Structure 1
Amino acid sequence: MTNEEIIFKIITEAGDAKSLAFEALKEARKGDFKKARKKLKKANKNFNNAHDVQTDLISKEANGQKNEVSILMVHAQDHLTSATLAKDLIKEMVKMQEEIFNLKENKQ
């Protein structure tokens, strides 16, 4: 894989992970927690794909193979970082939404 292909793999996988996480939150807000968990599971797969590519780059660099740091690489890392934060935060928000839903159901 070329450096650009590696970069765009990170961007694509991280972007898909982030989008799926936000879709999961929408499903949770509608009360469909089964769909929300499915979306989070898919998001996690995409995130792991991006993270694996990043880990491979880090391992190669640790073994002496230098990587070119371009603005695109920085952009890819930004995508991965924001996807990480979104995924983790939304996972907790889905849990909170389910707790709220259950509390409302128990009051009725």
Structure 2
Amino acid sequence: EAHHAQTKLLQEYASGVEIKIEIIMVHAQDHLMTTMTLLEVAKEMLALYKKVN
């Protein structure tokens, strides 16, 4: 859900809609990107673990 909200904001910005960004939005973006990255790393680690065992 957070990723969809982020995508919507970026699409609106790209189409010329002025978007007021608060510091909390930057903080939320940081958390979202960190979480998405960690999820991908965890998936890769799980796949490697399954290959080894």
TM superposition score normalised by structure 2: 0.84
| Structure 2 gap ranges (5+) | none
Matches within 5 A, 1:41-60: 49-60=1-12
SS in 1 for 2:9: helix
SS in 2 for 1:88: helix
How many Å separate the matches in 1 of 2:35 and 2:18? 25
- What is the CA-CA distance between 1:100 and the residue it aligns to? 1.9
Which is greater in Rg?
Answer: 1
How many Å separate the matches in 2 of 1:87 and 1:73? 21
| Structure 1 gap ranges (5+) | 1-48, 102-108
Match of 1:100 in 2: 52
In the comparison of the two structures, how many residue pairs are matched? 53
Match of 1:17 in 2: none
Identity of aligned residues (%): 36
How many Å separate the matches in 2 of 1:66 and 1:97? 46
How many Å separate the matches in 2 of 1:64 and 1:96? 44
2:32 is equivalent to residue 77 of structure 1: no
- RMSD, matched Cα: 1.1
